[in-house]
Amino acid sequence: MKKIAIVGAGASGMMAAILLKQRGFDITVFERNEKVMKKIYATGNGRCNFTNRNVGPKNYHGENPKFAISTIKKYGYDEIIDFFNLIGIKEIILEDGKTYPMSLQASSIVKQMELTAENEKVNILTNTYVKDIEKINEKYKVTIINDENNLESREFDYIIISTGGRAMEKSGSDGNGYRLMQKLGHSITKTHPGIVQLKLKDGGFKDMSGVKFPGACYLIDKNKKIMEEKSDILFTDYGISGPGILQISGECMRRLNKGKEVEISIDILPEIEENQLGDFLTYNFMINQYKTLKEGLIGIIHDKLIENLCKYVKINSNINLSEISKEEIHRLTMAIKDWRFKVIGCKSEKDGQVTCGGVSTKEINPKTMESKLYKGVYIIGELVDIDGDCGGYNLHWAWSSAMACADSIN
């Protein structure tokens, strides 16, 4: 019986373990935490949107996003749902195609995966850290620090690396997988947090911190809007957050890391057209000429945004409305619909929900997840330089890359 070592008992590692054990392989899973699938508990605000009805190659990114196409097409939404239905999870589809267990509990996914693995008699060693992987003849020697803090070595026919990246460090994601892969000669593309809050240039955000409103955000490239998300926008003391910001953050950081200037645009009032807003401001200011600009904007935008918006368009917020020009009203209208900010970075790895970057896809077979450098070594899940949009797409990549790997081992 062929022996397979799986390094990491997260989503992809557990999926691979169950599928391969069902096919008769001798499976040993090494997990550094005291329990498996620790990161799952935080997904979907504790409800676990484990896939998305709208999943497709368009939802994946990296140095070569086309790498994900074959896996996502072969192991799509129906294939993932079929697997979870078989182990006792019934799905419910909520907003934007986000798919959850009907219980709306992330723990349901973990428990059913654990029960399935236990029934299949998968050998899972928790509190076990993989220190080294070496190829010796046709075998792979895995050196571990076991739960008694002693060094131990074991030999296997195949190795699957599913350690995850660096996101959510408390879940055990410390980047050990990158170290193991580099030691085997693999290249790691530059990593950075994804689905993360952004830091903005110039500061001045403390007086706007905590302001939340339904808006729209855009990633700007050469003065063109190339990504658009409509969602709540939240200003913070360091910059900006909100679901839409999290969605575009990965691409923002990818561009920033390449030395590009990154700019985002915020539409404070996406529900009103620019010309309608301009007409309203003109009329409103005309019939309320006894007010200052600061007073005239109350009830139109959040009052904590007014001072910074006026500074942005270089208009004194204390100017009387009787003195404001048509050109100044036009500038205000444009700023409300297209307030530009320069991105200078993001919050730390521990704040990101996923790691962007990872093991170079140039060195992995896209149909099997097998290393092109070492026959019998497979790299799956977040460790690969593929990251998905927010909304269940990263967990879908974990499941589908594990399925591609398991189907290729015979």
171: confidence class by pLDDT, cuts 50, 70, 90: low
Strands of the sheet containing 51-52, edge to edge, are 51-52, 98-101, 91-93
2: confidence class by pLDDT, cuts 50, 70, 90: very high
Q: What pLDDT was estimated at residue 203?
A: 65
List, for residues 334-370, the tens digit of each pLDDT value. Answer: 999 999 999 999 998 778 899 999 999 999 999 999 9
Token digits of residue 22:
């069902």
The dihedrals phi and psi of 384, each to the nearest 5 degrees, come to -75, 150
List, for residues 250-304, the tens digit of each pLDDT value. Answer: 999 999 989 999 999 999 999 999 999 999 999 999 999 999 999 999 999 999 9
Average model confidence (pLDDT) across the chain: 95
pTM reported for the whole predicted model: 0.91
Short-list 348, 381, 320, 322, CA closest to 37: 381
Once rounded to an integer, what is the mean pLDDT over residues 82-93? 98
> What whole-number percentage of the chain has pLDDT above 70?
99
The secondary element (H helix, E strand) that includes residue 198 is strand 198-200
382 pLDDT more than 90:
yes
Short-list 254, 219, 253, 217, CA closest to 234: 217
Domains of the chain with CATH codes:
3-192+356-408 (3.50.50.60), 197-346 (1.10.8.50)
Angle at 63 between CA 387 and CA 189, to 5 degrees: 85
151 pLDDT more than 80:
yes
Q: What pLDDT was estimated at residue 204?
A: 66
List, for residues 12-55, the tens digit of each pLDDT value. Answer: 999 999 999 999 999 999 999 999 999 999 888 899 999 999 99
**Pairwise CA distance, residues 69 & 63, whole Å:** 14
Q: How many Cβ atoms sit within 10 Å of the Cβ of residue 342?
A: 14
Once rounded to an integer, what is the mean pLDDT over residues 50-75? 97
